[in-house]
Amino acid sequence: MATAAALAGMPLALRQELTRETSFVLFSAGQRQLVAAVQEHIFPHEPDSPGAKDINALAYLEWAITAPGIDPDTRNIIVNGVGRLQDASRERSDIPFGDLSFDQTERLLRYLADKTRWGRAWLSLVLYYVFEALLSDPVYGGNPGKIGWRWLQHQPGFPRPPADKIYGRLG
Protein backbone atom coordinates (compact mmCIF):
# COMPACT_ATOMS: atom_id res chain seq x y z
CA MET A 1 0.00 0.00 0.00
CA ALA A 2 2.56 2.54 1.15
CA THR A 3 5.00 1.29 -1.47
CA ALA A 4 2.55 1.72 -4.31
CA ALA A 5 1.95 5.31 -3.21
CA ALA A 6 5.69 6.01 -2.97
CA LEU A 7 6.27 4.69 -6.48
CA ALA A 8 3.22 6.26 -8.11
CA GLY A 9 4.00 8.14 -11.31
CA MET A 10 7.69 7.23 -11.25
CA PRO A 11 9.44 6.53 -14.57
CA LEU A 12 9.84 2.82 -15.16
CA ALA A 13 13.65 2.85 -15.37
CA LEU A 14 14.01 4.57 -12.00
CA ARG A 15 11.43 2.31 -10.50
CA GLN A 16 13.31 -0.76 -11.66
CA GLU A 17 16.51 0.70 -10.29
CA LEU A 18 15.00 1.38 -6.86
CA THR A 19 13.35 -2.00 -6.61
CA ARG A 20 16.43 -3.88 -7.87
CA GLU A 21 16.62 -7.19 -6.02
CA THR A 22 19.01 -7.00 -3.09
CA SER A 23 20.72 -9.81 -1.25
CA PHE A 24 19.61 -8.20 1.99
CA VAL A 25 19.62 -10.28 5.12
CA LEU A 26 20.41 -7.79 7.87
CA PHE A 27 21.66 -4.21 7.95
CA SER A 28 25.36 -3.88 8.74
CA ALA A 29 26.30 -1.96 11.88
CA GLY A 30 27.03 1.13 9.78
CA GLN A 31 23.74 0.88 7.91
CA ARG A 32 21.85 0.49 11.17
CA GLN A 33 23.45 3.65 12.49
CA LEU A 34 22.56 5.56 9.35
CA VAL A 35 18.94 4.42 9.28
CA ALA A 36 18.54 5.16 13.00
CA ALA A 37 19.96 8.65 12.46
CA VAL A 38 17.52 9.37 9.63
CA GLN A 39 14.59 8.06 11.66
CA GLU A 40 15.52 10.20 14.66
CA HIS A 41 15.96 13.24 12.44
CA ILE A 42 12.56 12.92 10.84
CA PHE A 43 10.87 11.81 14.05
CA PRO A 44 12.85 13.38 16.90
CA HIS A 45 12.40 12.89 20.60
CA GLU A 46 10.90 15.98 22.22
CA PRO A 47 10.17 16.70 25.87
CA ASP A 48 6.48 15.87 25.53
CA SER A 49 6.58 13.26 22.79
CA PRO A 50 8.44 10.10 21.81
CA GLY A 51 11.04 9.99 19.05
CA ALA A 52 12.11 7.21 16.74
CA LYS A 53 14.43 5.58 19.26
CA ASP A 54 11.73 5.70 21.96
CA ILE A 55 9.40 3.69 19.76
CA ASN A 56 12.01 1.12 18.65
CA ALA A 57 11.66 2.34 15.09
CA LEU A 58 14.85 0.70 13.81
CA ALA A 59 14.16 -2.78 15.16
CA TYR A 60 10.58 -2.43 13.95
CA LEU A 61 11.73 -1.55 10.43
CA GLU A 62 14.09 -4.51 10.39
CA TRP A 63 11.25 -6.80 11.37
CA ALA A 64 8.90 -5.25 8.83
CA ILE A 65 11.18 -5.68 5.84
CA THR A 66 12.19 -9.23 6.71
CA ALA A 67 8.77 -10.55 7.75
CA PRO A 68 7.38 -13.35 5.59
CA GLY A 69 5.10 -12.12 2.85
CA ILE A 70 6.66 -8.65 2.66
CA ASP A 71 6.36 -7.05 -0.76
CA PRO A 72 9.90 -7.45 -2.17
CA ASP A 73 9.68 -3.97 -3.72
CA THR A 74 9.28 -2.47 -0.27
CA ARG A 75 12.35 -4.20 1.10
CA ASN A 76 14.41 -3.35 -1.97
CA ILE A 77 13.51 0.34 -1.94
CA ILE A 78 14.41 0.67 1.73
CA VAL A 79 17.70 -1.20 1.40
CA ASN A 80 18.81 0.37 -1.89
CA GLY A 81 18.01 3.81 -0.48
CA VAL A 82 20.52 3.41 2.32
CA GLY A 83 23.35 3.10 -0.17
CA ARG A 84 22.02 5.97 -2.24
CA LEU A 85 21.89 8.20 0.83
CA GLN A 86 25.55 7.51 1.58
CA ASP A 87 26.46 8.35 -1.99
CA ALA A 88 24.35 11.51 -1.99
CA SER A 89 25.95 12.73 1.20
CA ARG A 90 29.45 12.32 -0.21
CA GLU A 91 28.49 13.83 -3.55
CA ARG A 92 26.88 16.94 -2.12
CA SER A 93 29.09 17.70 0.85
CA ASP A 94 32.05 15.37 0.70
CA ILE A 95 31.12 14.31 4.21
CA PRO A 96 29.89 10.83 5.18
CA PHE A 97 26.26 10.98 6.30
CA GLY A 98 27.14 10.02 9.85
CA ASP A 99 29.35 13.06 10.26
CA LEU A 100 26.83 15.66 9.10
CA SER A 101 25.59 18.27 11.57
CA PHE A 102 21.84 18.60 12.25
CA ASP A 103 21.53 21.48 9.78
CA GLN A 104 23.56 19.69 7.13
CA THR A 105 21.38 16.60 7.59
CA GLU A 106 18.26 18.70 7.28
CA ARG A 107 19.51 20.38 4.11
CA LEU A 108 20.49 17.06 2.53
CA LEU A 109 17.24 15.28 3.38
CA ARG A 110 15.20 18.28 2.30
CA TYR A 111 17.04 18.34 -1.01
CA LEU A 112 16.48 14.63 -1.51
CA ALA A 113 12.78 14.85 -0.65
CA ASP A 114 12.09 17.93 -2.74
CA LYS A 115 14.40 17.43 -5.70
CA THR A 116 14.92 13.70 -6.22
CA ARG A 117 12.27 11.15 -6.91
CA TRP A 118 14.12 8.30 -5.25
CA GLY A 119 14.75 10.38 -2.13
CA ARG A 120 11.12 11.34 -1.89
CA ALA A 121 9.99 7.72 -2.27
CA TRP A 122 12.57 6.46 0.20
CA LEU A 123 11.92 9.04 2.91
CA SER A 124 8.19 8.68 2.52
CA LEU A 125 8.51 4.94 3.05
CA VAL A 126 10.92 5.24 5.99
CA LEU A 127 8.46 7.66 7.59
CA TYR A 128 5.59 5.27 6.95
CA TYR A 129 7.33 2.57 8.97
CA VAL A 130 8.00 5.08 11.75
CA PHE A 131 4.21 5.52 11.93
CA GLU A 132 3.79 1.76 12.13
CA ALA A 133 6.33 1.63 14.97
CA LEU A 134 4.51 4.48 16.70
CA LEU A 135 0.95 3.25 16.41
CA SER A 136 0.83 -0.52 15.86
CA ASP A 137 0.05 -2.85 18.72
CA PRO A 138 3.06 -3.17 21.08
CA VAL A 139 3.04 -6.91 20.39
CA TYR A 140 4.95 -6.11 17.18
CA GLY A 141 7.83 -4.49 19.04
CA GLY A 142 7.15 -0.81 18.42
CA ASN A 143 5.01 1.49 20.56
CA PRO A 144 6.53 0.18 23.84
CA GLY A 145 4.25 0.63 26.81
CA LYS A 146 1.67 2.11 24.37
CA ILE A 147 3.79 5.27 24.30
CA GLY A 148 2.56 6.27 20.83
CA TRP A 149 -1.08 5.64 21.65
CA ARG A 150 -0.77 7.59 24.90
CA TRP A 151 0.88 10.55 23.20
CA LEU A 152 -1.92 10.81 20.62
CA GLN A 153 -4.66 9.82 23.09
CA HIS A 154 -5.54 6.96 20.83
CA GLN A 155 -7.97 4.41 22.18
CA PRO A 156 -7.13 0.97 20.76
CA GLY A 157 -9.80 -1.54 19.87
CA PHE A 158 -10.30 -4.80 21.69
CA PRO A 159 -9.51 -7.64 21.93
CA ARG A 160 -5.90 -6.90 21.20
CA PRO A 161 -3.77 -9.52 19.43
CA PRO A 162 -1.90 -12.12 21.48
CA ALA A 163 1.64 -12.92 20.31
CA ASP A 164 0.60 -16.16 18.62
CA LYS A 165 -2.09 -14.48 16.51
CA ILE A 166 -0.23 -11.62 14.87
CA TYR A 167 0.49 -11.04 11.20
CA GLY A 168 2.50 -13.94 9.82
CA ARG A 169 1.09 -16.39 12.37
CA LEU A 170 -2.50 -16.49 11.13
CA GLY A 171 -4.02 -19.05 8.81
Partner 1 sequence: MIDCDVCVIGSGAGGGPVALTLAEAGFSVVVLEKGPWFTEQDFYKDEIACCRRNTYSRNLQEEFHVVEERDKNNGWVTKPTYDSSWDLWNGNMVGGSTNLMSGFFHRLKPRDFRLLSEFGAIDGANIADWPISYGDLEPYYTKVEHEVGISGRVVDHPNLEPRSTRDYPFRATAEHPVAAWFDETCKTESLHSIPVARAILPGQLNGRGGCQYSGYCGSYGCSTGAKGSSRAALLNRAVATGNCDIRPNSHVYRLISDAGGRVVSAGYYDKKGAAELIRAEIFVVACQAVETSRLLLLSQGPRHPNGLANNHGQVGKNLLFTTGGGGTGSFGYSKLNRKKAAALKVRGPFVNRALQDWYFIDNDEMGRMKGGTIDFLFRHPNPIGQANRQKWESDRLLWGTPLKQKLKSYFTDARYLRFEVFADWLPNDDCNVALDGNFTDKWGSPVARVKIGDHPHNAKVSRYLGRKGYRMLKAMGADSASWGLSSKPPGILLAGGCRFGIDPNLSVLDRNCRAHDVENLYVTDGSFMPTGGSVPHTWTIYANSFRVADQILSELGGSKPAIN
Which residues within the stretch 14-33 sit at the binding site for partner 1 (CB under 8 A)? none
- Please tell me the distance from the alpha carbon of residue 4 to that of residue 1, in angstroms, as a whole number: 5
Residue 128 is a binding residue for partner 1 (CB under 8 A): yes
Nearer to partner 1, 93 or 141 (CB): 141
Q: Which long-range contacts (CB under 8 A, 24 or more apart) does 144-148 make?
A: 144/54, 144/55, 144/56, 147/50, 147/54, 147/55, 148/50, 148/55
Cβ(139)–Cβ(166) below 8 Å: yes
Does residue 82 contact residue 17 with C-beta atoms inside 8 Å? Answer: no
If the CB atoms of residues 90 and 146 are measured against partner 1, the closer one turns out to be: 146
Q: Is 114 in the site for partner 1 (CB under 8 A)?
A: yes
By rule CB under 8 A, what count of residues binds partner 1? 49
* Residue in 134, 166, 120, 132 with CA at minimum distance from that of residue 44: 134
Regarding 116 and contact with partner 1 (CB under 8 A), the answer is: no
Binding part of the chain for partner 1, among 29-37, 78-86, 89-97, 155-163 by CB under 8 A, reads 155-163
Binding site for partner 1 (CB under 8 A): 1-2, 4-5, 8, 41-44, 46, 49, 69, 71-72, 106, 109, 113-114, 120, 123-124, 127-128, 131-132, 134-137, 139-140, 149, 151-162, 165-167, 170-171
